[in-house]
């Protein structure tokens, strides 16, 4: 596997995190470089950590993780998205909109990096330099997610009243997409 292959994989793995980064940007009342770095950092770290864990686990865990990965991602994204939709109907929900606490970001980072875990298992069977690969995936994810937050903020200033509702719906749709892809590959 060459540099270009890993770069394409990095972009592919970052797409769910990008979508959620846009959603987080939508809910920010004002631009915050610190929060942008925190959001992009969470996703980048998990997009690096999960392939490493998958690589280390190798083929021994691949069947177990692969069979449950889509269900785990679906459940986490629907739960988080449903909560965002619910909060969008409460007038005091603005305080939680741009939350980047561990409690908020950890499940999002896990949900978006499960595919990266599977990718790491695949890396174990290929001639891949895991350190170069995870570093490249992390850098790509960080840059893509930071751009996503900024894009979401740009859009959010035009959609402030419905930003959290839209973000929640997008998360639920991503969860459904993951589940549908899984079910269609099984059938």
**Per-residue pLDDT tens digits for 14-48:** 888 888 898 888 888 777 899 999 999 999 999 99
pLDDT per residue as tens digits for the range 111-132: 888 888 878 877 877 778 999 9
pTM above 0.85, yes or no: no
- What is the count of structural domains for the chain? 1
Show the domain range for 13: 3-186
Name the phi and psi angles at 146, rounded to 5: -60, -40
DSSP-derived 3-state class of residue 29: coil
Residues present in the chain in total: 187
DSSP state of 129: -
Helix extents (H) in 58-129: 62-88, 94-97, 102-124
């Amino acid at each position: 596997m060459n540099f270009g292959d890993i770069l394409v994989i990095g972009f592919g793995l970052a797409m769910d995190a990008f979508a959620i980064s846009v959603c987080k940007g939508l809910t920010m009342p004002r631009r915050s470089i610190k929060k942008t770095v925190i959001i992009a950092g969470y996703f980048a770290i998990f997009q690096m950590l999960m392939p490493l864990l998958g690589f280390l686990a190798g083929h021994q865990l691949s069947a177990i993780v692969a069979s449950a990965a889509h269900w785990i991602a679906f459940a986490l994204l629907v739960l988080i998205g449903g909560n965002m939709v619910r909060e969008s109907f409460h007038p005091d929900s603005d305080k939680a909109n741009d939350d980047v606490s561990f409690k908020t970001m950890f499940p999002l980072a896990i949900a978006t990096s499960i595919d990266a875990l599977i990718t790491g298992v695949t890396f174990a069977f290929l001639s891949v330099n895991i350190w170069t690969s995870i570093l490249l995936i992390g850098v790509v994810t960080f840059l893509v997610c930071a751009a996503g937050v900024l894009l979401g903020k740009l859009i959010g200033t035009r959609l402030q009243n419905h930003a959290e509702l839209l973000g929640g719906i997008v998360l639920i749709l991503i969860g459904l997409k993951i589940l549908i892809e899984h079910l269609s590959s099984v059938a």
